[in-house]
Structure 1
Amino acid sequence: MCGFAGIFHLTSPKPVDPARVERMCDAIAHRGPDGFGVWTAPGVGMGHRRLSIIDIAGSPQPMASTDGRAMLLFNGEIYNYRELRAELAAQGAVFHTDGDSEVIIAAYQRWGADCVSRLAGMFTFAIYDLDRREMLIVRDRLGVKPLFYASLPDGSLIFGSELKALTAHPGLRREIDPLAVEDYLAWGYVPDHRCILNGVQKLPAGHLLVLRHGEPAPAPRQWWDVSFADRRKGSAADHSAELIHLMRDAVTSRMVADVPLGAFLSGGVDSSSVVALMAEASANPVRTCSIGFDVKALDESAYAERIARQFGTNHVNRTVSPDDFEAVDHLAWMFDEPFADASALPTWRVCQLARESVTVALSGDGADEAFAGYRRHVFQHREDRVRSLIPDAIRGPLFGTLGRLYPKADWAPRPLRAKTTLLSLAGSSMDAYASAISVTGPLARAGLYSPEYLRLRGDYRAEQPFIDCMANAPARSGLDRAQYADLKFWLPGDILTKVDRASMAVSLEAREPLLDHRLIEFAATLPEGERIHGTQGKWLLKDTMRRYLPDDILFRPKQGFVTPIAQWFRGPLAGAARAIAADTRNGGGALARTGWFDAARLSAIAEAHIAGTSDYSRLLWQLLMLDRSLGRLGLA
């Protein structure tokens, strides 16, 4: 696990200043504190920061091929590198190291860009081919590892593992992309089709770029996709047997490391499943860690400790105060772009705890997206059944009217909060799911903007790319389309961004066995009844893990990390909430200086929340993180 940065001259092979590449790498030194290297040639510069995991002393980067005709930058892990190494050696390849980096170069020299389909793992890498005078840049199937790039006015293209690497280059202009603000307020993060900086792009998951001197930068080319279009034959028992085989293989392949290794353990289904399979495969006790909160309603540590006892792990639990608001500015540094998933705070804290004893930690991320584990998946599945029974001409007016008349009752027990469901049933399946997954809806967003920003935004709406993703999915049903969009849009933009930045900020490698691409491809072919069974999502996974885990772990309500931001904005962050709304004459910050928001509306929102008459905590958190991120990047 590492970080890298580079410069590629598209127009002509001009010399690259090694010091400039070094500065770009220094900006992401936290991703790789164990080693550093820079290599330049006419028209290209490559720099690397290494976190040593496998072949600790023997795989420095940038790495040259055996014949010196190719140079590699690599961030990630290839879990099937030993099998590939044996296959390539049988075909004449010569290896001088024991790591996975050299295997990538040999695979490229043997199979060209098609080598990517043979790699199982999480990765971004860049290979410069000295004979072809071209560079291949690749991102893994699901977007576990990030890659940013931008074309500069001098004819060069710069790239790096984090936005920090690019902003360290003096040629990059720092201008806000106004449409990224619309995207961010809708989703709580800036999705992969956009960046907060105008002109910066993110290489999409499962895509690659081929750069050549003398040619403009091409559009990325997709090399992998997941299909929900087919249904697996056979019985649930057969599928369960295949599932446990795939899970065992995914977990054991990610337990290979030359440094201490452990796991995050929340006591939920997914992390408990990973720990159970690690304990089964390990001759020694697994190291696990979790964090608890000193507020009982937020604390899940008892579940984690129960699983730790069951599997005899070396478990460490630390209780932290939920009053962690002082970390806001560090979060802005960590993520560069505005990022409003408040669970980033506890994720960072558990990564810090893990790093005290291990360098690699396995997590349970990805199972909810792959196996339909979110409550919204169950709702989507049920609502689509209703939509299929009632013609659109009747359903739209009927449920639309009922939804508008039904009172908004956030205070009521969940079964009585029917307004959202009624309005969802009035619309299309894709519109309803986009609304369910968004943080701030289109009407609420429009009410925040100034006339100037509304002109800049034009007719663009953040939900449309998500809806397009669902519409173009290789899928049969609304549930298929929802899961596909989760995997392609939500997962890389939110979940994987959160885990990558939080773990790499403390130089910890996080591995996600439940995102093994073979497991994802298997899950996408399951019958809907094996994904959602009654009111239970993720049914086949839970039923399969009954041989390891008790039912009250498998079937308890999903909680996840919770951060008490509502209380913060009525207490220690009340001043920050008011400052967000202030205009520049009254101490307003970066957000106010954009001129894109209605200051009076923001002030009313802040005061209503502080007074306790409304709960605007999620929106205020979004606005605060946007303000701090813009300020840190010097964008306003």
Structure 2
Amino acid sequence: MCGIVGIFDRFGRKEIERELLGRMNESQHHRGPDEGGLHTEPGLGFGHRRLSIIDLSSGRQPLFNKDKTVAVTYNGEIYNFPDIRRDLEALGFEFRTHCDTEVIVYAWEAWGEACVERFRGMFAFAIWDRPREILFLARDRLGIKPFYYADLTTGQFIFGSELKALLKHPEVPRKIDPTAVEDYFAYGYVPDPKTIFSDVRKLPPGHRLTLRRGEPKCIPEPYWDVPFAVQAGITEQQARDELIERVREAVRIRLVADVPLGAFLSGGVDSSAVVAMMAGLSEDPVNTCSISFGDPAFNEARYAEMVAERYHTRHRVEQVDPDDFSLIDRLADLYDEPYADSSALPTYRVCELARKEVTVALSGDGGDENLAGYRRYRWHAYEERIRSLLPLGIRRPLFGALGRLYPKADWAPKIFRAKSTLESLARDSVEGYFHSVSILSDSTREAMFSEDFKRGLQGYSAVNVLRGYAERAPVDHPLSLVQYLDMKTYLPGDILTKVDRASMAHALEVRVPLLDHKLVEWISGLPPELKLNGREGKYLFKKSLEPHLSDDILYRSKMGFAVPLASWFRGPLRQKVRDAVMGSDLAESGVFNMAFLKTMLDQHQAGLRDHSAGLWSILMYDSFLRRYA
């Protein structure tokens, strides 16, 4: 895995400042500590930091074609590169290395922009075609690898794997996008293609961008989408058998590496399935690792041990202090933008542990989105059944009034916490799902933001992000729709961002077989009832895995990487969060109603309400302001 940067003079051939390019490149040293490379020529500069995984002795980047007219800087892995290489050799291309990078160069020469459609893997890359004066950029289909860019008023186009690389350029404006702030406090991250800064963008997953020198066009275009094309006539047993074969094949092609390789093993269904497939494909014991928590409410370590024992893996486990909050100030440096998923803390620790033994780790990310594993999908299906009984014109005033009247009972058993459900039922399907995934409700954000900031939003609401994707979705089934929305927002914006930054902080490559695009395409076409069957999420996956994993693994309650924020903010972090929430940086930003922030803080620390999610998001925004704004 690697880091890439570049500078392109869109309208001329001015010399690229090599020292600046080097600073941008070195800001991502952690992504590729093995080797660095720079290339400059009139009007263009490419940089690369390399983490050597395949063909350790060659494959240095930027890499050129035979006559030095086409160059690539690339981050990722193309798992089907041997097949593509054979196709290219049949066309007469000659290879000097055994790495996948060289395949990209010749694939561009052979097929142009369509080359990206042949790649199976995770990637973000830039190609410079000197004879045609074209800069071609692409990002993988699901957004596993990041890609930031900015089109500067100076005529330079710059890009990088992380936002911090672009911020090394003195001409990048740091004007905060108010709509991105609204998005952040709704979702806990800034969804693609926005960034927190108005003048910097992310290349969306499954998109490519072609820049021709002298032409003003700078509009990404999609080359792939999750199809959700219905498979007719497939029986459940056929689907079970084929699912296992497809997962096994997705794992198999990700086992190629010239460095030590292993897997994360949390004890959940997805990571356990990946380890089970790896064990069946490997002659040697699989290297696995997991972290444990002292608090049994957060501890899945014993389930990981069960899987490790069954498949005789080389298992390493370390206990993490449940009050391990020493990384809080580090998160702003890792994620650059405001990022409020607190599970980034244990994710960082498990990546740190894995890197002690391996350079490549397989993970189970993507299973919940693909196979409907989240509890919120079950709740959404339940709410959709009620919505179908009454038109919105009746539901909105009826359930809206009930939701306003019902007390917010954070302290009560879940069965009595009906306020959120009532509020959701007063909305249409997309609004209802947005309400369920928002870390701060519409009413809380309305109260939290200052009047000046709200006027600057000009009526914009973060629900617009989901509405935009829903309008273009290739599905109308309620379950498939929300899965699609998550694949476009939560998966790349939260899950994959979390894993990429945490792993790259330790120069660890993480591969995600459950997000193999061919597997995703096939699963998307399965009947929704094979994914969510009654109350059972991942129904087909679990049934398929019964010969491979015990019922204790498959059918227990989902835990996840939880962090005890509520108790932290009332105990060891009491003063830290108070200093941040009432500090000058937030007050001077002009975004917040400071009186309301104080109310949130006082209520939480008095034990009257649980505002831990909101306070964490505010703490992370404060950390961002202190470093970057």
DSSP-derived class of the 2:415 partner: helix
Q: 2:520 corresponds to which residue?
A: 520
Q: Secondary structure at the match of 2:486?
A: helix
Distance (Å, rounded) in 2 between the aligned partners of 1:426 and 1:565:
30
CA offset digits 1:145-168 (Å, max 9, x no partner): 000001222210110000011011
User: What does 1:501-580 correspond to in 2, within 5 Å?
Assistant: 501-580=501-580
8 Å CA contact 2:581–2:619 kept in 1: the answer is no
| Alignment partner of 1:603 out of 595, 598, 611 | 598
Kept in 2, the 8 Å contact 1:3–1:49? The answer is yes
CA distance in 1, matches of 2:358, 2:565: 30
Match of 2:424 in 1: 424
For residue 219 of structure 1, what is the aligned residue in structure 2?
219
Give the aligned partner of residue 608 of structure 2: 613
Runs of 4+ in 1 over 4 A off after TM superposition: none
**Local SS of the residue matching 1:326:** coil
Aligned ranges 1:455-474 → 2 under 5 Å = 455-474=455-474
Aligned partners of 1:480 and 1:563: how far apart in 2?
30
Alignment partners' CA distance in 2, 1:32 and 1:495: 21
What letter matches 1:511 in structure 2? Answer: R
After TM superposition, the structure 1 = structure 2 runs for residues 183-262 of structure 1, keeping only pairs within 5 Å, are 183-262=183-262
2:622 aligns with 627
SS at match of 1:325: coil
Per-residue Cα deviation, 1:217-274 (whole angstroms, up to 9, x for no partner): 4210111111225344310111112111110110011111000000000000000000
Q: Which stretch shifts more, 185-194 or 507-516?
A: 185-194
Equivalent position of 2:445 in the other structure: 445
* Cα deviation code 1:529-578 (max 9, x no counterpart): 10111101111111101110111211111111011111111122211222
The correspondence of residues 323-472 of structure 1 with structure 2, limited to 5 A, is: 323-472=323-472
Q: Deviations over 1:54-97 (max 9, x none)?
A: 00111000000123220000100000011111121122110010
Counterpart contact for 2:355–2:506, Cα < 8 Å: yes
Cα RMSD after superposing both structures: 1.3
One-letter amino acid matched to 1:67: D
**2:460 aligns to what SS in structure 1?**
coil
TM-superposed deviation, 1:416: 2.9
5+ unaligned residues in a row in structure 1: which ranges?
Answer: 583-587
Tell me, yes or no, if the aligned pair for 1:180 and 1:196 is still in contact at 8 Å. yes
1:87-123 Cα shifts (integer Å, max 9, x gaps): 2112211001011000111111111110111100000
Q: Match of 1:85, as an amino acid?
A: R
Aligned to 1:158: 158
How far residue 471 of structure 1 moved from its aligned partner, in angstroms, is 2.9
Which residue, 587, 594, 597 being the options, matches 2:589? 594
Partner of 1:585 in structure 2?
none
Alpha-carbon offset, residue 176 of structure 1:
1.5
Deviations 1:405-438 (A, max 9, x none): 4333333322332232233223211110111111
**Secondary structure in 2 matching 1:319:** strand
Alignment of 1:20-419 (within 5 A): 20-419=20-419
2 CA distance for matches of 1:197 and 1:137?
21
Give the distance between the partners of 1:394 and 1:594, measured in 2 at CA. Answer: 41
What per-residue deviation string (whole Å, max 9, x for no partner) do you get for residues 360-403 of structure 1?
A: 00000001001111011111122222322334444444433443
Moved more, 223-232 or 482-491: 223-232
Answer whether contact 1:430 1:478 (CA < 8 A) is retained: no
Give the 3-state SS of the residue equivalent to 1:389 in structure 2. coil
One-letter amino acid of the structure 2 residue matched with residue 605 of structure 1: M
Q: Which deviates more, 350-359 or 209-218?
A: 209-218
Q: TM-score, normalised by structure 1?
A: 0.97
Q: Matched residues in 1 for 2:86 and 2:383: separation?
A: 51
Match of 1:480 in 2: 480
Q: Is the 8 A contact 1:578 1:607 kept in 2?
A: no
CA drift of 1:596 comes to: 1.8
Displacement of 1:590 in angstroms is: 2.3
Bigger drift between 416-425 and 216-225 goes to 416-425
Aligned counterparts of 1:164 and 1:422: Cα–Cα separation in 2? 42
Distance in 2 separating the partners of 1:430 and 1:182: 17
Query: Matched residues, percent identical?
Result: 51
Distance 2:622 2:404 in 1: 34
TM-score by length of 2: 0.98
User: Aligned partners of 1:393 and 1:191: how far apart in 2?
Assistant: 31
Check 1:445–1:402 CA distance in 2 against 1; reply closer, same or farther (3 A cut).
closer
Q: 3-state DSSP class of the match of 1:123?
A: strand
Distance 1:601 1:239 in 2: 52
How many residues of Structure 1 are paired with residues of Structure 2 in the alignment?
A: 629
Matched residue type, 2:15: P
